[in-house]
Amino acid sequence: MQPPFLPRVLVSRLPFFYGWIVLGCVCLAGFARQGPAVAVLSIFVAPMTGEFGWSRTAMGGAVSLGGLLAAIISPIIGPVLDRRGARLVLCAAVLATGLATMALSLTQSLLMFYLLFCFARMNWAGPFELGLYGALNNWFVVRRVRATSIATLAQMSGLVALPFLAQVSMRGGDWRAGWLAVGGTVLMVGFVPCWLLLVRRPEDLGLQPDRLAPGRGAAVAEPRFNRSQAIRTPAFWLLSLYTILVYPVQAGVSLYQAPHLIERGLSPLAAATVISFFSAMSALASFGIGFLPRHWPVRYGLLLAAALLSAGAFVLIGVHSVPAACLGAGTFGLGIGGIMTLLPMAWADYFGRESYGAIRGVALPLQVLAQAAGPLLSGTLRDWSGSYTDSLLVFGFFAILAALAALTARAPAMAAASS
């Protein structure tokens, strides 16, 4: 496939590997991705339910429905990603997400909110997830840990900045200004670099993963599973089980952090500060993972991340002060950073980059459905019991089970790929 004009001009003039340009584009798109993240929506839960009288279950249902839509489209997008590359997928996702989140400022009814937010959330859970990590895994193999940690750090910076931006823009109670600020930021940050500079694979520019040109350095042995081969391995199903257990925890706790903390006596601004601290700790974990030795089994990192999620959920149950909230949210955030960095990398390390989009396109519906179930479960339990205690208990035990699944998820034998 013919790459865009600007990369063809730049590649022979750059003194460094063009993959770092790709990584920069991925970082900006990852920042922009967070417009419809549950941590951002969490800032809007109290003012929008207060104005319209919606239940928490109704707002959580929008996250769930958006995930369901992503589960439907992901198996279609995966093969397109393998053939056409991440440029088309990410540019469409950024443009659609920015316009939809800005249009949320015009919300007049629950139906309108669902149409716009579900569309944005579908992009968040499907095209963004496949496009970001599809681009990274195509360009980096030896340096995949470092590149993934940097990209995840950029996404976490979006989770730090956008909730705070929304809260500041809503001073005086104008939540509509918050959505305008979020959507405008998504468009300004994410679209142009991806359109001008992204390239499908290093081979399209005469390069190899991690290197300036063919033959410079020893070739790296990579697994080369296609979709049908991957599905027949125990590792595929164990990673899928881990995903099913851990993502309800991620989404269910993240969405309702702010209202939970407000119900425990914290002010809205203090709650927003705690959420930003949670996101900062996620970023710290993502950055730290980049310095781990490449030969360490990724499943041990997944186990530790799940354990941190469990501990953070249990601590959040009894918070009454900002320091206690920071302890629980910070511990939880460390686990989120670990999952967001390590799980996409595990899929590429276990099954290779050749059919990454097709393989992840099959597994991703499980992830987005699990993410969809979390907010729905959390909102339902809160409406039933009057607090978030029961949901935090459930999520804490889910994370413990996920840790056990990670412990058994060994990489498949490379010989299986050619059988």
Per-residue confidence band for 68, with pLDDT thresholds at 50, 70 and 90? confident
Measured distance CA(64)–CA(374) in Å, rounded: 8
DSSP conformation letters of 314-382: HHHTT--SHHHHHHHHHHHHHHHHHHHHHHHHHHHHHH-STTHHHHHHHHHHHHHHHHHHHHHHHHHHH
Q: How many CB atoms lie within 10 A of CB 278?
A: 31
Q: Examine the pLDDT at 101 and tell me if it is beyond 90.
A: yes
Which SS3 state, helix, strand or coil, does residue 211 take? Answer: strand
pLDDT score of 164: 86
Mean local confidence (pLDDT), 345-349:
90
Confidence of residue 1 (pLDDT cuts 50, 70, 90): low
Quick check: 329 pLDDT over 70? yes
pLDDT of residue 377: 85
| pLDDT attached to residue 405 | 94
Question: How high is the mean pLDDT of the chain?
Answer: 88
Token output for 317: 């149950």
What pLDDT does residue 373 have?
Answer: 83
Average pLDDT score over residue span 48-65: 84
User: What confidence score (pLDDT) does residue 396 get?
Assistant: 93
- Residue type present at position 108: Q
Rounded-to-integer distance, Cα 282 and Cα 276, Å: 10
Q: Tens digit of pLDDT for each residue in 395-415?
A: 999 999 999 999 999 988 865
Q: How far apart are CA 349 and CA 343, in angstroms?
A: 10
Q: What does the buried/exposed string (b/e) look like for 149-163 if buried means 16 or more CB atoms within 10 Å of the residue's CB? A: bbbbbbbbbbbbbbb
For the full predicted model, state whether its pTM sits above 0.85.
no
CB 218 within 8 A of CB 7: no
Rounded (to 5) percent helix, strand, coil in the chain: 80, 0, 20
Q: Which of 252-256, 349-353, 384-388, 414-418 has the highest mean pLDDT?
A: 349-353
> Going from the N-terminus, what domains does the chain have, and what CATH number goes with each?
16-201+223-418 (1.20.1250.20)
Cα-trace Rg, the chain: 20
Give the angle 34-153-399 at the CA atoms, nearest 5°. 80
Residue 419 has pLDDT above 70, yes or no: no
Q: How far apart are CA 192 and CA 251, in angstroms?
A: 29
Q: Provide the sign of the torsion angle of the four alpha carbons 225, 230, 235, 239, taken in this order.
A: positive
Which pLDDT score, from 0 to 100, does residue 257 have? 81
Strand partners, 211: 208
